[in-house]
Amino acid sequence: MRLLLVEDEIDIQTFLRASLEEAGYQVEAAVDGKTAERLAIDGQFDILVVDLGLPDQDGITLILRLRQMGVRAPVLILSARRSVDDRVRGLEQGGDDYLTKPFALAELLARLRNLLKRNSPPGSEATRLRVLDLELDLLRREAFRSGEILQLTQQEFVLLEFLCRNAGRVVTRSMILDKVWGMRIQPDTNVVDVHIYRLRSKVDGKGQQPLIRTMRGVGYVLKDR
């Protein structure tokens, strides 16, 4: 996967490049709009990460120019502004995504994966999900651990499905709130954790290998090996 990173803050660019490369992306970086344009035309990129506040031009202007030049790859917009501009919303409707700084790396990676998935041709949607000995029947909304049915509420099933779809990868609390409850909020209480504890008590029975792991300071991960 070839990724173009457009970010003028060297500090941020450095750690982003490192963690993106670690996640398996081939990263090319640009510090301003001009360089980004040149790179985008020369190289075939699968995905772009663009910061809105560039020294020579507005990030949105750059994206619109790239679109005019025929660059089709999806864009993840990084914004230091919290309230979202109408133009960003327009791009979001056009299939791009945005992320407010500061963000968790896990969330950045998850959004990149979503963007790539959205833009790849739709495969046949699976009706069953399987992670180790955990199995989810998406049609009948039932979950099994080692063949035994788990008594889950509707909401717990959605939460478990989200964890399974991201098995092996860290999901943050705000990702869970966004995807499972449809809210971009940051509660200063442990609401998500309690949901996870409850789910864990049902999924990871006595004597079984614990599947749901807490990554302190980051989020949660469903083990896939």
Partner 1 sequence: MSSRTGKPVIHSAAWRISLWATLAFACGTMLVFVFLHRFVEGDIQRRSDAWLSGEVEVLGDVAERTPKDALYDRVVGEVAELAGKEVPNKDPSETSSNDSVFFLQTGSNGLLKLWVGTGSGEPNLKAVQTTTIIPDHPNDLRVQGFAVPFRVASTRLDDGTYIYLGLSERDELRVLRSLRLRFFLLWLLIVLLGFSIVFYTTRRMLRHVRQITEAASRIGHSDLNARVPTTKRNDEVGHLALTLNRMLDRIENSIHQLHTITDSLAHDLRSPLTAIRGKLEMSLSATHGEKAEPIVSAIEELDRLTDFLNKSLDVAEAKADALRLDRNEIDLDELLRIMIDLYEPSMSEKGLQIRLQSGSPLIIEADAALIHRMIANLFDNELKHLPSACTVNMMLGVEDGFASLILEDDGPGFDPEVLTHLFERRVKGRESNGHGLGLAFVDAVVRAHGGSVAACNRETRGARISVTLPLAANQQAKSPPVASHDVG
Task: Assess 198 for contact with partner 1 (CB under 8 A).
Answer: yes
Task: Assess 225 for contact with partner 1 (CB under 8 A).
Answer: no
The residue from 35, 46, 53, 204 that contacts partner 1 (CB under 8 A) is: 53
Task: Assess 19 for contact with partner 1 (CB under 8 A).
Answer: yes
The region of 12-20, 61-69, 136-144, 202-210 touching partner 1 under the rule CB under 8 A is: 12-20
The helix (run of H) or strand (run of E) holding residue 101 is none
User: Minimum CB separation from partner 1 for residue 191, in Å?
Assistant: 5
Q: Which is nearer to partner 1, 67 or 202 (CB)?
A: 202
Task: Assess 11 for contact with partner 1 (CB under 8 A).
Answer: yes
Query: What CA–CA distance (Å, rounded) separates 210 from 222?
Result: 9
The residue from 1, 39, 103, 200 that contacts partner 1 (CB under 8 A) is: 103
- The 154-193 contact track toward partner 1, x by CB under 8 A, reads -x---------------------x---xxxxxxxxxxx--
User: Minimum CB separation from partner 1 for residue 87, in Å?
Assistant: 13
**Whether 201 contacts 145, CB under 8 Å:** no
Residue 43: C-alpha distances to residues 4, 29, 113, 177 (Å): 9, 12, 20, 36
40: left (phi over 0), alpha (psi -120 to 50) or beta: alpha
The residue from 41, 69, 126, 194 that contacts partner 1 (CB under 8 A) is: 194
Packed helices 191-203 and 154-165: angle between N→C axes, nearest 10 degrees: 90
For residue 16, the cross-strand partners are none
Q: Single out the residue of 49, 9, 11, 59 nearest to residue 27, CA to CA.
A: 49
- Quote the tokens at residue 179: 């995807």
Give the footprint of partner 1 on this chain (CB under 8 A). 9, 11-12, 15-16, 18-19, 53, 80-84, 89, 100-105, 155, 177, 181-191, 194-195, 198, 216-218
